[in-house]
Structure 1
Amino acid sequence: MSRWFAPGTWWYALPLLLLAGPLLWLDPSLGAGAALAGIAVLVFHRNPDRDVPESGYVSPADGKVSVIREEDGRLRVGVFMNVHNVHVNRAPTAGPIEDVTHTPGAHKPAFSKDSDRNERVHVDFPDYRVTLIAGAFARRIHPYVETGDTVDRGERIGHISFGSRVDVLFPPEIERDELLVERGERVRAGQSVFVEP
């Protein structure tokens, strides 16, 4: 994995940057546009290091808390990633991964209720689940982990190219009044604590 960018970034950025050179000779405005688009792709897929707290469930994504709801007696918290957010996602706690499954679906805006039927990847831990959800422009979810892997708290587990939302479905014993964030609050992956032990 690149230290600076999410895996696969160059597949998106390099064609634009290579195209920019010839286009600058033919049409400077098109060449500049291609170069800017390539740079924007690199910025979008940036992959910064984070100082991870030693305890608690940390946010799996950068962005704004957009979902807080109860589902069958369990708490779900979702983070919507805007275009300016880092899109590399992280494990809320340390532990083994029991299953990683891909579910095809729609590509509705990730901040809408219709996004509950969007394409997604579920990363299942023994007692909770992280779900990476594609959005209107996200066409590719890239998990970095597989069934049987063990991760540390805040470790990178995947990214979504050009999207969208990441949810945590907490263990049944976690209650709403234990949640340390509110809807609309901005959070950082691997740093913002959702629930303390």
Structure 2
Amino acid sequence: MLTPKVPVAKEGYPFIWYCAFSTLVLCLLGFSLTAGIMFILTTFVLAFFRDPERFISPDPDALVCPADGKIISIEEVEDKKFTGQRVKKVCIFMNVFNVHVNRVPFSGNVVKIMYHPGKFYSADSDKAALENEYFATVFSAPHDRQIAVVQIAGLIARRIICWLEPGDSAIKGSRLGLIRFGSRVDMYLPLETELVVTTGQKVRAGETIIGRLQ
């Protein structure tokens, strides 16, 4: 039996309680207009930190999407930074209305985690992948291959949270981390990956199948 879970990320509790408390105080003081604005803000913050359960594909070869959002590019690149291999790179842009809890794309051990402090360009720009702050989590895959998931900060995303550590055994579809207030997630996949998504497609973390490892 699945353990019931509050469908809100715990990292959002301080923001939600602060906004809700401010709304209550303003309402009691009679500042109706300001209280109404704070109520709308509270609703937005609550929605932003939502963490719904997802139905994960049982296909052992399927790679699931690590983030909600829209695929903005798919390309082959020489990845010298994370996997040291030529890979297929899939970039997913998340706007402020998407679920921002990220998920593990494929079951495997966490090989390494890399943090890079950087700038905060718009997450859908080319500069974002090169110069923005990021957290990269590299997973082992069968036949000495690796898969990297890179959480990239955006223009207003100022906090990246990764819940995994090197050596952890990660299960496909489990929660990987969180990025606050809009950003981007890039996937670096083995060349043999058979992609089943296209540029411009909307995707859901844990449910949309990105491709299959051959």
Q: Could you state the TM-score of these two structures normalised by the residue count of structure 1?
A: 0.93
Instruction: Specify the alignment match of 1:41 in structure 2.
Output: 45
Residue by residue, what CA displacement relative to the aligned partner does 1:104-150 show, whole Å, maximum 9, x if unpaired? Answer: 11111111111111111000112110000111110111111111111
- Pairwise CA RMSD of aligned residues? 1.5
Q: Which runs of 5+ in 1 are unaligned?
A: none
Instruction: Specify the alignment match of 2:82 in structure 1.
Output: none
By how many angstroms is 1:172 displaced? 3.9
Paired amino acid for 1:11? P
Partner of residue 181 from structure 2, selected from 155, 159, 162: 162
SS of the aligned residue for 1:170 comes to strand
Q: Which runs of 5+ in 2 are unaligned?
A: 79-85, 141-145
Partner of residue 14 from structure 2, selected from 11, 21, 26: 11
C-alpha distance in structure 1 between counterparts of 2:125 and 2:39, whole Å: 32
Residue by residue, what CA displacement relative to the aligned partner does 1:16-40 show, whole Å, maximum 9, x if unpaired? Answer: 1111122122421111111221121
1:128 to 2:144 alignment: no
C-alpha distance in structure 1 between counterparts of 2:95 and 2:175, whole Å: 19
State how 1:146-161 maps to structure 2 within 5 Å: 146-161=165-180
Percent sequence identity over aligned pairs: 35
C-alpha distance in structure 2 between counterparts of 1:183 and 1:14, whole Å: 38
Segments ≥4 residues shifted beyond 4 Å: none
1:28 to 2:66 alignment: no
Structure (1/2) with the larger strand percentage: 2
Instruction: Specify the alignment match of 1:173 in structure 2.
Output: 192
C-alpha distance in structure 1 between counterparts of 2:120 and 2:110, whole Å: 26
Instruction: Specify the alignment match of 1:190 in structure 2.
Output: 206
